[in-house]
Amino acid sequence: MIKNFNRMRISEIKKILLKRGFKVYKSTNQSIQKELKNFFLISLFGIFVILFFFSLPTGLDFTKQALKSPEIIDNNSKMDFYKTLAGKSIKKNSNLDKELNEDSLFDDIIELNENPTSSVRLSASTLNELFKDTKYNLKDIRKSKIVKPVEIGLLPYEIKKIESSKKRKELFIQIVLPLIIEENNRIKIDRKRLFVILNKNNNTKSEKQWLKQKFEQYGVVKNDLSTLKVRMDEIPVSLAIAQAAKETGWGTSRFAIEGNALFGQWTYTGDGIKPSGADNNATHKVMKFKVLKASVRAYQRNLNTHSSYREFRKARAIQRDNNEKLNSLELVNYLDKYAETGVEYTKILKKIIEQNSLKDFDDAKILPSSKKIKNLI
């Protein structure tokens, strides 16, 4: 029986299977290849779908980061700034430069005061020799407008013993002049960067961080770029020298010698020296510093932020807007609130400026000690 089965033809087997209800298909190489191809395509598509959904979150996150714009500060106040500084637009009822946040106003000054760079007190004779050896004299400066980068941290005790008022004044100017110019240069560098930011439609993350620091430094609220630009500006050199001379008696006062206080700024809470003869109920003191440089910076910050000198800043902004040089003899008129004598105080400052030809130093520039400062000269 088995032998007979082995001899049966394929066609006979097919007939038997058909009679019993089976369906028989003819298999060819072509159909097998087609089925394998379909299986391969389906498998490939399945793998692709799995990989797609697996990588979708990562892809979306990458796309989000790639297309994300850098952090910006919308320069909405740029338009207000030009409106405000366009001549007549600066009015007494303007909201510009009105509010002040004092939280971080003097942080950099406190840091400078706690970490002085030059706190050695030299004698008057030593300073005169130093200035002579370095050929640092006011006569040359008036002509060349170039100042040697000399930083003196403390006034000499002997300055009040110099009998010649001319020599005493000259030594005092030689000491404070580089300090005033250096602090003005710091502001000039910041102001230059601010101009770059104002001329852009939006700002980068680093610019945003820098602006945040400057808003705090100048007590600006609501990220007002217009107010920052009005406050972040220089004090004319001649005006600063005149005020330092008036407040210290050309460097001879107790406040200047003991407390390095060049500008007679008051404090009600900080470290200071109580004026002799002051009323027993008086709570104010004259602010005290470890070095003269900190006193200069505090003075500039005071004029640039305090509400008493808002009119001073407006007048300075108008001069800037008219492309004029800062004129100390005009700006001094707005410092009547600096002293109790009011207008008389401003008249004295004018006399000091004129009689000592201090405007000769307004255009003076310190020899560069850094690339940033060199670019400003």
The pLDDT, as a whole number, for residue 206 is: 94
The pLDDT, as a whole number, for residue 113 is: 87
Nearest-5° Cα angle at 316, 313 to 317: 85
The pLDDT, as a whole number, for residue 270 is: 66
Q: How far is CA 185 from CA 71, 90, 110, 336, 358, in A?
A: 29, 26, 20, 26, 18
The pLDDT, as a whole number, for residue 55 is: 57
The pLDDT, as a whole number, for residue 10 is: 54
pLDDT in tens, the chain (377 residues): 444 444 455 566 556 656 655 555 554 455 555 555 666 566 666 666 566 555 555 554 544 444 444 444 444 433 444 443 444 444 443 568 889 998 888 899 989 988 887 788 999 999 999 999 999 999 999 999 999 999 999 999 999 999 999 999 999 999 999 999 999 999 999 999 999 998 988 889 999 999 999 999 999 999 999 999 999 999 999 999 999 999 999 999 999 999 999 998 877 776 778 777 666 666 778 889 999 999 999 999 999 999 999 999 999 999 999 999 999 999 999 999 999 999 999 999 999 999 999 999 999 999 876 544 445 43
The pLDDT, as a whole number, for residue 264 is: 86
The pLDDT, as a whole number, for residue 98 is: 87
The pLDDT, as a whole number, for residue 69 is: 43
Q: How far is CA 156 from CA 79, 128, 245, 365, in A?
A: 50, 11, 15, 25
Q: Which amino acid is at 114?
A: E
The pLDDT, as a whole number, for residue 119 is: 81
Tokens 């297309």 belong to residue = 67
The pLDDT, as a whole number, for residue 3 is: 43
The pLDDT, as a whole number, for residue 77 is: 38
The pLDDT, as a whole number, for residue 272 is: 79
Q: How far is CA 327 from CA 227, 318, 320, 332, in A?
A: 21, 11, 10, 9
The pLDDT, as a whole number, for residue 93 is: 39
Q: Is the pTM of this model over 0.95?
A: no
Exposed e or buried b for every residue in 276-306, given b needs 16+ CB within 10 A?
eeeeeeeeebbbbbbbbbbbbbbbbbbbbbb
The pLDDT, as a whole number, for residue 164 is: 96
Q: How far is CA 191 from CA 45, 188, 232, in A?
A: 61, 5, 6
The pLDDT, as a whole number, for residue 373 is: 42
The pLDDT, as a whole number, for residue 61 is: 52
Burial class (CB in 10 A: 0-12, 13-18, 19+), 89: middle
The pLDDT, as a whole number, for residue 280 is: 65
164-181 confidence digits (pLDDT tens): 999 999 999 999 999 999
The pLDDT, as a whole number, for residue 73 is: 44
The pLDDT, as a whole number, for residue 18 is: 61
18-58 confidence digits (pLDDT tens): 665 555 555 445 555 555 566 656 666 666 656 655 555 55
Asked if 344 and 246 count as a contact pair (C-beta separation under 8 A), the reply is: no
Residue 153, both tokens: 């941290």
